[in-house]
């Protein structure tokens, strides 16, 4: 008899997610960087815990998306939802977790009055770029530039 | 969340401002350095915030599906009095925690830790202000039989030792308490606020989401420094050790468990539609969450000590340490954080005054039990009046002179000032009953008020 997989639930970010997020990042990048994630989670919690979400399956965090609502940067006066970091546990991929996280955030930002979602992507990271395209991101008039020093 | 901000009438705002001058002297410091420690965050706002998108229909209880009350006059006398007790307790915790934090704030090992706690204190002040909005924006007097001014006065007159809940009557021993309190006791606040989101009195329900949003960072203010301290300890720093953190946990977790009320209670809250969980259910969830937090803290400690070990090997090592209660690969059992047993050091609720060790083992002899407490609680806390009273009471329970039930009713009261609480000695009350009848506009403005804190919404 087939065993049904536990349902995936999406909830706001919490302080107790630091370890799980650090672990997902470690699985994806191979780098253990707890200090970095402690700082980022604390930052997003103080900004707005509901603007960042985690996905849980069977009581275990299997994905996260960290974002906030802000404006006034890069000459953009309009307040926009900015997605900075996201990740899905490699063992839990293929279940639409990224899409569920994104939909929850989009709904939150829309309710908060934002008309635009923004993010940056390293186009060399094909998987990330493909995901962002799949959830509806397209090219922006705002282009990321850099200069080596 | 669609949030409306509002302010309380001037005489109450003046009273809060006066209270701040005496109890929260570092608030102006936060204003000065806000942009340095919290760049790009919205400015702090001392105002009441109401989430207008809150349900208009009762979500739980005997009147589920009926409209929520918008005014106390729509509540029964029993319900109004019950809710007022909840509001009073909530307000007491907000002002009480500021009084506790302020004493040891300056001892913080880093400026970041200090300003994070300062922000927590400022937001607790806003939460207290929010509760005063509950008391002062509607007329409770016909149902409560108490004047609004006296209800506000009652809360502002409380000091460490005379607050409603015991967790707010224990002075901090060091900055370790500032941090552990934020991670452990504020977590109870998260549960209470979450349960109260459904409240059948809509203005109270509307108050919860903005408070919860702020509470999330309060928990990080506890958890992140604990993680950093454990990392440092794992690498040899001898100043803040896991043993110190464990002792602080042993001090606060029992008080946190008691903040949910007696394990057998909570039916009235659910029946009246004020909360959506009974005490035991909420307490169990809280217990599990704190246990998970300690598990993660232990992993942080062990991974910092054994950097070349895989996460899986660290998990196995932690399991071995906890199972065998002995030294594993050089790490001692007492370097690992343990969840204090639910029945340990309890003064209220089902297990009140049972003599069990921090690990839940029964202790038959009262003097052995007292010696055990001396080993597992912070040294500075042992030399407190609170502990002296507890020791005397537990001896009376052990000798049969007092029953456990009666002992549980004797809340330690270190201070109780019924009157003349303002140290200025100009008046005997925080709330000025003679002047200040003028009301502020309902929507927040830039106008400051004499004696009031300066932070307000633009």
What confidence tier does A77 reach under pLDDT thresholds 50, 70, 90?
confident
Backbone angles phi, psi at B356, to 5 degrees: -130, 155
What confidence tier does B455 reach under pLDDT thresholds 50, 70, 90?
low
A23 interaction partners in chain B (CB closer than 8 Å): 311
Residue B341 lies in a domain: no
- For A107, nearest residue in chain B (alpha carbons): B1
A40 interaction partners in chain B (CB closer than 8 Å): none
* Ordered DSSP codes for A15-58: GGGHHHHHHHHHHHHS---HHHHHHHHHHHHHH-GGGSEEEEET
Residue B443 has pLDDT above 80, yes or no: no
- For B299, nearest residue in chain A (alpha carbons): A19
User: What's the confidence (pLDDT) of residue B238?
Assistant: 87
What confidence tier does B236 reach under pLDDT thresholds 50, 70, 90?
very high
CB nearest B293 (choices: A13, A16, A46): A16
Domain ranges in chain A are 8-134
Q: How many domains is chain B partitioned into structurally?
A: 1
The residue ranking higher by pLDDT, B454 or A53, is: A53
What confidence tier does B110 reach under pLDDT thresholds 50, 70, 90?
very high
Give the Cα separation of B85 and B79 in Å (integer): 10
User: What's the confidence (pLDDT) of residue B423?
Assistant: 63
Report CA torsion sign: B215, A10, A119, A20. Answer: positive
Give the Cα separation of B341 and B368 in Å (integer): 17
CA distance B214 to chain A (A): 7
CB contact under 8 A, A49 and B213: yes
Tokens 């470690």 belong to: A26
Residue B221 has pLDDT above 70, yes or no: yes
User: What's the confidence (pLDDT) of residue B40?
Assistant: 83
What confidence tier does B47 reach under pLDDT thresholds 50, 70, 90?
very high
Q: Please write down the HEC assignment for all residues of B128-153.
A: HHHHHHHHHCCCCHHHHCCCHHHHHH
In the predicted model, what is the mean pLDDT of residues B244-262? 97
Which pairing describes strands B48-51 and A53-57: parallel, antiparallel, or unpaired?
unpaired
What element of type H or E holds A84? strand A80-88
CB contact under 8 A, A16 and B292: yes
A19 interaction partners in chain B (CB closer than 8 Å): 296, 299-300
Tens-place pLDDT, residues A83-106: 999 999 999 999 999 999 999 999
pTM over 0.90: yes
User: What's the confidence (pLDDT) of residue B442?
Assistant: 37
Residue A60 has pLDDT above 70, yes or no: yes
User: What's the confidence (pLDDT) of residue B411?
Assistant: 64
Which pairing describes strands A80-88 and A60-70: parallel, antiparallel, or unpaired?
antiparallel
The residue ranking higher by pLDDT, B415 or B393, is: B393
In the predicted model, what is the mean pLDDT of residues B132-161? 94
By percentage, how much of chain B surpasses pLDDT 90? Answer: 86
User: Which CATH number goes with the domain that contains B259?
Assistant: 1.10.620.20
Give start and end residues of each alpha helix (H) in B359-430: 366-376, 379-382, 385-399, 404-409
Residue B174 lies in a domain: yes
By percentage, how much of chain B surpasses pLDDT 70? Answer: 90
In a mutational test of the A interface, the residue from B1, B34, B184, B296 whose CB has the highest number of chain A CBs within 10 Å is B296
User: What's the confidence (pLDDT) of residue B415?
Assistant: 56
CA distance A125 to chain B (A): 26
User: What's the confidence (pLDDT) of residue B433?
Assistant: 63
B292 interaction partners in chain A (CB closer than 8 Å): 16
CA distance B118 to chain A (A): 13
User: What's the confidence (pLDDT) of residue B457?
Assistant: 47
| Distance in angstroms between the alpha carbons of the first and the last residue of chain A | 61
Q: For residue B9, what are its two tokens?
A: 């009438």
Tens-place pLDDT, residues A15-54: 999 999 999 999 999 999 999 999 999 999 999 999 999 9
- For A21, nearest residue in chain B (alpha carbons): B296
In the predicted model, what is the mean pLDDT of residues B140-150? 91
CB nearest B223 (choices: A15, A26, A70): A15
Residue B421 lies in a domain: no
Give the Cα separation of B360 and B343 in Å (integer): 7
Residue B141 lies in a domain: yes
User: What's the confidence (pLDDT) of residue A123?
Assistant: 84
Residue B435 lies in a domain: no
Residue B57 lies in a domain: yes
User: What's the confidence (pLDDT) of residue A4?
Assistant: 74
CB contact under 8 A, A45 and B217: yes
Count of CB contacts below 8 A, A vs B? 63
Q: For residue A68, what are its two tokens?
A: 């906030």
By percentage, how much of chain A surpasses pLDDT 90? Answer: 78
Residue B103 lies in domain:
3-296
Residue B303 has pLDDT above 70, yes or no: yes
Is the CB of residue A84 less than 8 Å away from at least one CB of chain B?
Answer: no
User: What's the confidence (pLDDT) of residue B439?
Assistant: 43
CA A113 to chain centre: 19
CB nearest B213 (choices: A26, A42, A50): A50
**Residues from B in contact with A at Cβ < 8 Å:** 1-2, 38, 40-41, 119, 183, 213, 216-217, 219-220, 222-224, 227-228, 231, 289, 292-293, 296, 299-300, 303, 311
User: What's the confidence (pLDDT) of residue A143?
Assistant: 85
Q: Among candidates B101, B96, B218, B263, which has minimal Cα distance to B164?
A: B96
CB contact under 8 A, A38 and B213: no
The fold adopted by the segment(s) A8-134 is Aminopeptidase (3.40.630)
CA distance A148 to chain B (A): 27
Residue B437 has pLDDT above 60, yes or no: no
In the predicted model, what is the mean pLDDT of residues A57-69? 96
Left if phi > 0, otherwise alpha if psi is -120 to 50, otherwise beta: which for B275?
beta
Residue B340 lies in a domain: no
In the predicted model, what is the mean pLDDT of residues A109-122? 92
């Amino acid at each position: 008899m087939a065993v049904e997989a536990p349902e995936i639930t999406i909830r706001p970010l919490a302080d107790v997610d630091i370890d799980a997020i650090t672990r997902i990042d470690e699985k994806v990048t191979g780098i253990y960087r707890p200090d970095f994630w402690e700082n980022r989670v604390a930052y997003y919690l103080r900004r707005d815990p509901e603007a960042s979400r985690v996905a849980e399956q069977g009581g275990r965090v299997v994905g996260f998306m960290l974002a906030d609502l802000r404006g006034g940067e890069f000459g953009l006066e309009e307040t926009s939802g900015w997605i900075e970091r996201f990740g899905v546990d490699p063992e839990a991929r293929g279940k639409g977790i990224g899409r569920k996280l994104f939909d929850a955030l989009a709904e939150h930002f829309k309710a908060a009055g934002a008309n635009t979602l923004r993010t940056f992507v390293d186009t060399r990271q094909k998987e990330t770029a493909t995901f962002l395209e799949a959830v509806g991101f397209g090219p922006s008039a705002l282009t990321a530039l850099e200069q080596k020093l | 969340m669609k949030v409306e901000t509002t302010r309380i009438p001037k005489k109450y705002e003046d009273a809060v401002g006066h209270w701040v001058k005496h109890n929260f002297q570092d608030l102006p410091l936060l204003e000065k350095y806000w942009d340095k420690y919290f760049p790009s965050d919205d400015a702090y706002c001392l105002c009441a915030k109401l989430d207008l998108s809150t349900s208009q229909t009762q979500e739980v209880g005997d009147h589920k599906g009926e409209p929520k009350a918008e005014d106390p006059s729509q509540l029964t006398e029993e319900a109004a009095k019950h809710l007022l007790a909840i509001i009073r307790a909530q307000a007491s915790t907000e002002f009480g925690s500021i009084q506790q934090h302020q004493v040891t704030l300056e001892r913080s090992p880093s400026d970041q830790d200090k300003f994070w706690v300062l922000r927590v204190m400022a937001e607790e002040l806003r939460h207290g202000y929010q509760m005063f909005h509950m008391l002062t924006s509607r007329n409770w007097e016909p149902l409560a039989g108490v004047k609004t001014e006296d209800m506000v006065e009652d809360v502002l007159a409380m000091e460490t030792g005379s607050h409603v809940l015991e967790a707010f009557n224990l002075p901090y021993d060091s900055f370790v308490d500032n941090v552990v309190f934020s991670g452990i006791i504020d977590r109870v606040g998260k549960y209470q606020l979450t349960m109260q989101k459904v409240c059948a009195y809509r203005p109270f329900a509307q108050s919860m989401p903005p408070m919860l949003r702020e509470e999330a960072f309060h928990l990080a203010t506890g958890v992140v420094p604990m993680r950093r301290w454990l990392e440092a300890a794992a690498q040899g720093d001898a100043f803040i050790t896991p043993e110190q953190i464990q002792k602080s946990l042993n001090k606060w977790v029992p008080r946190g468990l008691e903040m949910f009320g007696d394990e057998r209670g909570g039916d009235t809250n659910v029946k009246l539609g004020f909360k959506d969980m009974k005490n035991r259910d909420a307490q169990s969830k809280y217990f599990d969450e704190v246990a998970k937090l300690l598990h993660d803290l232990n992993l942080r400690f062990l991974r910092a000590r054994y950097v070349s070990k895989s996460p899986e090997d660290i998990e196995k090592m932690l399991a071995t340490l906890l199972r065998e209660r002995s030294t594993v690969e050089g790490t001692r059992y007492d370097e690992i954080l343990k969840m204090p047993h639910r029945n340990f050091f309890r003064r209220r609720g089902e297990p009140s005054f049972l003599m069990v060790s921090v690990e839940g083992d029964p202790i038959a002899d009262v003097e052995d039990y007292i010696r055990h407490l001396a080993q597992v609680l912070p040294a500075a806390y042992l030399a407190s009046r609170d502990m002296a009273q507890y020791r005397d009471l537990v001896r009376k329970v052990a000798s049969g002179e007092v029953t456990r039930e009666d002992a549980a009713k004797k809340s330690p009261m270190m201070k109780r000032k019924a009157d003349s609480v303002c140290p200025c000695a100009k008046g005997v009350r925080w709330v000025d009953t003679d002047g200040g009848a003028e009301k502020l506009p309902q929507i927040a403005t830039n106008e400051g008020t004499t004696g009031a804190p300066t932070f307000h919404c633009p």
